[in-house]
A and B are shown apart, each in its own frame.
Chain A
C-alpha cells in the first residue's frame, strides 16, 4: 500500500542527512511501527510521507501512485496526528472538530461521537485552551480520524499520557485497524510498539537498522534471560542473566550451587534490549 524506497532528507540540503537510504513497504491494514530514540528521524520520515516536507530524494508511492502525483485528493483519505498537539486554543473541542470536518469532501465522523470516544464528551464545549495537556493531546488524536482515514499517521500518539488514557488510545487504534485502516505509528516507546504493531522498523541516526515482526526480532536478536532471586550468607540478591552468554551461564551455575534460590523465571527479550544490542543506545525518552 505504501512503498518507500531509498528515502533521504537533509534539512540543510547538504550531506548531513536526517534520514538516509530508508526503504520499507507497508501492507494494507497493517500497523507499522517506526521505533527509535529521539532525533532518529522518525518525524522527518512521517512528514515526508504526509507531504509536509518536500520529497528531496527517493521514491514514495501509495497504491502504486507516486506521492508527487497524488494532489490534494490524498488528504481526503489520510489522517495525521502530530507529535506537537495543534488545536485552536480559542475554539472549543467541538468547534475544533467541526471546523476540520468541514474541510473534507468525504463523509466525516460526528464530532460529538468522536469526542466521547476519547473521553472528551463532557469537555466538548470548553475551549481547548483550558484543557489539560492530556486532554489537548486526545483532542488532537480525535481530529486525526475525523475523515475516517484509511491511511493513518500517528506521531508519538501516547507520549506523555497516563496509562489509562494510553490504553484507551491503543484500543481505538486496534479498532480502526479492524475497520481496515493502515497505520504508520511512530514511537520511542517499545511497549506500544510491541503490543500494537504487526511489524516494526528500528531507526537510528536516520538509518533503518532492523525491520520485522516483533516476535521474529526477538527470536533473531533477542537473548533469553533468567531473573534469579536468592539468599546467600543471609544477604538477599537479585540478578538478570543471559542464557546465551558463557560468562552469565557460569555465574548462574555458581548461584545455583552456593546460594538458596527463592525465585527464578525466564524472561523474553524486550525490543528495548534488542535495540541496545543493535545500536548500543537506549530507546529511552
Chain B
C-alpha cells in the first residue's frame, strides 16, 4: 500500500515534470538518427584481421589499408573477430604454388559488403602481379541476422546505453533534489514510511521509463532479431545501477547545482567504454573495470549473438551488484541527511 502510494506519486511527478516527454523526444531523435543520419556501413573503421602464409600476409599487409591487423594463427583470428563484430578476416595460404584466399565474415553482413571485400582483396593481390586461386568464404558464427548492418547495431548499442540507462541517472538526481528543495522529503521523514521505500519507488519508476524507452527504440530500429528477455534484464539492472548511484551522490548535496559537477564526472566516466565499441583497439584495464563496459558488450550480444552467455551474465550481474551496494549506502546516508 505504502510502496504503491509512493510509486503512483513518483510516476505522476515524473509525468508532470515532463520526464516522460523528454525521454520520448530523445528516443525519437535517436530513432531518426539511426534511420536517416547513419551511413549504412562504416568501412573505414572495420578492422581486417589477416593470417596465414608469412610472406603472403606481409605483402598483403603492406599493400593494404592501415586497418589490417595480423594474427598468429587462424584460431587467434577468429577469436579476435568474435570480440569485434564490425571486422572481417582473411586467411592467405599457398596452394599448388598459387595463393589461396579464404575470407571470413560474421554472417550478418549484407551481400554488398561481402562482394566489395572480395573485390578489394583481389585488387590488392593482383597489384602484386600474382594469379590467385578462387576465393572461399567462411562465416565465423554461421547464424546470419537477416542482413542487419553491424555499424547501425553498434550505434544502437551505444544509444541504448546512453538513453534509457544513463538518462535514468540524471532523472534520479532531479527527483531527489526536487523533494529536497520542496521540503517534501522532510514531510515524508515524519511519517512511518522508510527511506528504502522512498528511494526504491523512484528507482522502480525510472526502471519503468527505461524499459519503455528501450523497447520503443529497439522496436523502431531492429525488430525481430533481438533477444528481448536479455535486453530487458540488461536495461532494468542498468537503470537500477544508474539511479542508485545518482541517489548516492545526491545524498551529499543540498541542491542540484552543487551536485552537477560530481554527477557529470561520473557520467562521463561511465560513457568512456563506448569508445571501445567503435575502435576495438581501445581497451585499457580501467575501462574493463567499469560496469558500462560489460553492459555494452552484453547489449551487443543481444543483437549480435556470438553464443557467449557469460558476457550477458556479467553485463547483468555486475551492474546489479553495484546497484545493490549503492542503494544500501544511499539509504543509510539519507536516513541521516534527508531531514536537514
**Footprint of B on A, CB under 8 Å?**
50-54, 72-73, 75-76, 78, 80, 82, 84-91, 95, 98-100, 102-105, 143, 147
Please give, as numbers and ranges, the residues of chain A lying within 8 Å of B98 by CB-CB distance: none
Query: What bracket does the count of chain B residues touching chain A fall in?
Result: 20 to 34
B225: min CB distance to chain A, Å:
41
A5: min CB distance to chain B, Å:
23
Please give, as numbers and ranges, the residues of chain B lying within 8 Å of A105 by CB-CB distance: 2, 192
Please give, as numbers and ranges, the residues of chain B lying within 8 Å of A52 by CB-CB distance: 186, 189-190, 339
- Interface pair A75/B192, CB less than 8 Å apart: yes
| CB-CB nearest in chain A for B191 | A103
Give the complex CA separation of A102 and B17 in angstroms.
Answer: 22
What 8 A-B pairs come out closest when comparing CB atoms?
A86-B183, A102-B5, A103-B191, A90-B16, A72-B192, A75-B192, A103-B193, A80-B190
Please give, as numbers and ranges, the residues of chain A lying within 8 Å of B186 by CB-CB distance: 52, 82, 86
- Interface pair A82/B187, CB less than 8 Å apart: yes
**Footprint of A on B, CB under 8 Å?**
1-2, 4-6, 8-9, 12-13, 16-17, 182-184, 186-194, 336, 339
| CB-CB nearest in chain A for B17 | A90
Contact of B339 among A53, A86, A95, A102 (CB under 8 A): A53
Give the complex CA separation of A189 and B206 in angstroms.
Answer: 45
- Interface pair B191/A86, CB less than 8 Å apart: no
Please give, as numbers and ranges, the residues of chain A lying within 8 Å of B194 by CB-CB distance: 72
A127: min CB distance to chain B, Å:
8
- Interface pair B5/A103, CB less than 8 Å apart: yes
New A-B contacts (12) at CB < 8 Å, excluding given A52-B339, A87-B182, A90-B12: A52-B186, A52-B190, A53-B339, A88-B13, A95-B9, A102-B1, A102-B2, A102-B4, A103-B188, A103-B191, A103-B192, A105-B2
Give the complex CA separation of A85 and B182 in angstroms.
Answer: 9
| CB-CB nearest in chain B for A78 | B190
B79: min CB distance to chain A, Å:
54
Please give, as numbers and ranges, the residues of chain A lying within 8 Å of B190 by CB-CB distance: 50-52, 75, 78, 80
- Interface pair A91/B9, CB less than 8 Å apart: yes
Contact of A86 among B1, B2, B184, B193 (CB under 8 A): B184
Give the complex CA separation of A236 and B12 in angstroms.
Answer: 66
Please give, as numbers and ranges, the residues of chain B lying within 8 Å of A75 by CB-CB distance: 190-192
Please give, as numbers and ranges, the residues of chain B lying within 8 Å of A78 by CB-CB distance: 190
- Interface pair A73/B187, CB less than 8 Å apart: no
B2: min CB distance to chain A, Å:
6
Give the complex CA separation of A102 and B201 in angstroms.
Answer: 14
- Interface pair A87/B192, CB less than 8 Å apart: no
- Interface pair B192/A76, CB less than 8 Å apart: yes
| CB-CB nearest in chain A for B338 | A52
Please give, as numbers and ranges, the residues of chain A lying within 8 Å of B183 by CB-CB distance: 82, 84-86
Contact of B12 among A54, A80, A91 (CB under 8 A): A91
- Interface pair A88/B192, CB less than 8 Å apart: no
| CB-CB nearest in chain B for A52 | B339
Q: A91-B9, A100-B187 are in contact. Are A73 and B2 (CB under 8 A)?
A: no
Please give, as numbers and ranges, the residues of chain B lying within 8 Å of A82 by CB-CB distance: 183, 186-187
- Interface pair A91/B4, CB less than 8 Å apart: no
15 A-B pairs within 8 Å (CB atoms) are namely A52-B189, A52-B339, A72-B192, A73-B192, A76-B192, A80-B187, A80-B190, A82-B183, A85-B183, A87-B182, A87-B184, A90-B13, A95-B12, A99-B6, A100-B187
- Interface pair B187/A86, CB less than 8 Å apart: yes
Contact of A103 among B2, B12, B17 (CB under 8 A): B2
Q: A91-B9, A91-B13 are in contact. Are A104 and B191 (CB under 8 A)?
A: yes
Please give, as numbers and ranges, the residues of chain B lying within 8 Å of A91 by CB-CB distance: 9, 12-13, 16
Please give, as numbers and ranges, the residues of chain B lying within 8 Å of A87 by CB-CB distance: 182, 184, 187
- Interface pair B9/A88, CB less than 8 Å apart: yes
Please give, as numbers and ranges, the residues of chain A lying within 8 Å of B193 by CB-CB distance: 72, 103
B57: min CB distance to chain A, Å:
65
| CB-CB nearest in chain A for B15 | A90
| CB-CB nearest in chain B for A84 | B183
Give the complex CA separation of A69 and B191 in angstroms.
Answer: 16
Please give, as numbers and ranges, the residues of chain B lying within 8 Å of A50 by CB-CB distance: 190
A258: min CB distance to chain B, Å:
60
B323: min CB distance to chain A, Å:
25
Please give, as numbers and ranges, the residues of chain A lying within 8 Å of B188 by CB-CB distance: 103
A141: min CB distance to chain B, Å:
12
A44: min CB distance to chain B, Å:
12
Please give, as numbers and ranges, the residues of chain A lying within 8 Å of B12 by CB-CB distance: 90-91, 95
- Interface pair B187/A104, CB less than 8 Å apart: no
| CB-CB nearest in chain A for B14 | A90
B153: min CB distance to chain A, Å:
39
| CB-CB nearest in chain B for A90 | B16
| CB-CB nearest in chain B for A83 | B183
Give the complex CA separation of A95 and B183 in angstroms.
Answer: 17
Give the complex CA separation of A89 and B187 in angstroms.
Answer: 13
